[in-house]
Structures are given as C-alpha cells and as structure tokens.
Amino acid sequence: MSRVMVAMSGGVDSSVAAALMIDAGHEVVGVTLRLWGGESDSGCCAVSDVDDARRVADTLGIDHHVFNMSEEFDQHVVEPYVAAHAAGLTPNPCLECNRHIKFDLLHRRVEALGFERLATGHHARVVQTAAGVYRMARAVDAAKDQSYVLHMLGQEQLAVLDLPVGEMTKDEVRQRAATLDLRTATKPDSQDVCFITQQHGRQDFLRQRISLTPGRVVDADGKELGKIESVEMVTIGQRKGVATVGGADPRYAIAIDVPSATVTVGSAADLLVKVTPVKDFTWAEKPFTGPVLAQISAHGQPMEAELVGNEVRWAQRQRRVAPGQAVVFYDGDQVIGGAIAG
C-alpha cells in the first residue's frame, strides 16, 4: 500500500475521500491548504474549514497538517482574476487554483515529502486506456461532476491521483460520512469564489483593487442605447444591467471593449456563433485535431464540434463563450484536453 496525502478542504467530500483511502489500507495524512488570508464567508477558505478538516482527521485517527500557500494563491489566482476583469475577460479562479495550486504546488509538495500518491474529494474519476494512457473521466454522479475544472491535468499528475468519491453519488458520500460520525456529514457544499464574500460581492472586491470604468451600451451599428456603471463587470451573454431603452426584445452583451469603455448588445440570436476561437491548450496526453464533444461551462451540456487549429467549430450554433472561460474537450466521458476562449 501507498503513503497518501489527502487534500482536506473541510468539506464532506474530502472527509470521505480520506476515510476511503484509510479503508483501502493506505498510510494516510491529511493536509489543508491555507489559501486566502482575507475575509471569507463562502467557498472553502474560511477559518472554520481548517478546523473542520482537523477535527475530521482526529475522528479518523490520522495526522493533519496545514500548508500556508496564501502568497502563491495571491500570485496565481487572485491577481490574475483582477487583471482579467480589468481587461474585460471572464476568469475562472477555481480552475486556476486547481491548475497552479492544488495540482502543481501541492503535487510537488507530495513528491518532496516522500508521499507516493495524492487524493482529493473531487467528483471525477481517473481511468486508464488500453494503451496505458491516464485520463480524467466524468464522475458517477453526473450532477456533481467536476471533470471540467480538472481538465488541465496531464499524465504526471493523473498517474498518482486518487479520486475515491468519484465512484459515489453525493447522497452516498453523505451517508458514509454520517455512518462514520464525521462533523462534515451535513455541511453544505461550497458554491462561490472563496475570496468574494456574499456580503460585499464581486464589484466591491474589484473596486478596492482596480478603477471601475463607466461605459456606454451600443447596438451592432454603434448606436448608443444607454450607459453602464462599470464595463469591467460585464460578461458575454449577460442581460442584467445591460437592458436598455428602445425595443421590446431582450438584449444581451455580445462584445466588450474595455479601452473604449463600450459594451455591444444584441438579440438572443446574435449570441449564437458557429466558431469559437481558443488558445492556451492543455492535453491529457498529446494534441488532438478532429471531432470532439466540447463543454463550455462546469455543468453545461457537451456539444458536438470539430477542433481545427485554434478554432472550435460547432456542429450547431452555440452561445458565445466569454473570453477567459474554458472550453473542455471530451471523447465520450473522458477528458482529452481543454483551452481558453480568446
């Protein structure tokens, strides 16, 4: 059996993941990452989450440690999040936390401390093809599947990764936690960005770090229709806040130009495109060109497409993808790679 480091966020999934690795006979140590040093009332970075993880580790009879990675979190997640908004992009900070912190820095810490494997509570599965290639695959519980936000993992990370709750439904996870009398058994799932508080919200967070620019709203012909409080707060496809006078039909943001402080709006039909440009590819094994199933949000439906160069060509017209968001490529239920919409 292996020496396994279990990343324990203080939630029920990682709690049960640790228990399952113990049941499998592994030598298990729990680790919690201290990431965000500021105010938090949501997500997975509150002080109470560290305490919950420690108490679960005590219940399971395993050692528990806290790694302070707040400086790296600021550098790789928070600062790029702010910079992306300033550029009119729509970032995904949880995805970048996985990319840079949990499966890069922590992965390297696993190796440096002599552990053989890393386990987390993500709802996804690691599978191996007949050719011996590791791939991320969808979880048994489709409603909780997190393969989209883990699409960037390559062979080195996948080869040593265990995702034990990926084989279970969420109800089964909670039942197992209750049976073990774990304090996290009924704890609600974290839903929000950990460094954005519910009390103050995204706009207040950004306003403290960048100047928010009032802008104008125009139609596709450049005709000005109204004003908007902050162009940096708008995302492609947004309707709320860009509703303007004139015309009864709903309007949606279809383009954002921060330098000119202009948001272009159009109809629902104007949101649909045949091609989505992408960049910054990552692959489970090697680059791929050809037919894929492409998914444009964490819980969106995979759609038939063809990957040609830096373009995703949709079989049927799809909603525009906000620049900065991930497009993830699947072969059936297995991730083959992903990219960022440009």
* Among candidate residues 316, 314, 312, 318, the one with its CA nearest the CA of residue 339: 312
* Among candidate residues 88, 93, 89, 84, the one with its CA nearest the CA of residue 35: 93
In angstroms, the CA 293 to CA 336 distance is: 10
Mark whether 194 is an active-site residue: yes
Residue 40 burial class via C-beta count within 10 angstroms: exposed 0-12, middle 13-18, buried 19 and up: buried
What are the DSSP E strand ranges found in the chain? 3-7, 27-34, 63-68, 117-119, 125-128, 134-137, 161-162, 215-218, 224-228, 252-257, 262-266, 272-283, 290-295, 303-308, 311-319, 326-331, 334-341
Residue 316 burial class via C-beta count within 10 angstroms: exposed 0-12, middle 13-18, buried 19 and up: exposed
Query: Which phi and psi (to 5°) does residue 297 adopt?
Result: -155, 165
Mark whether 97 is an active-site residue: yes
Q: Which of 44, 45, 94, 194 is catalytic?
A: 194
Residues with catalytic annotation? Answer: 97, 194
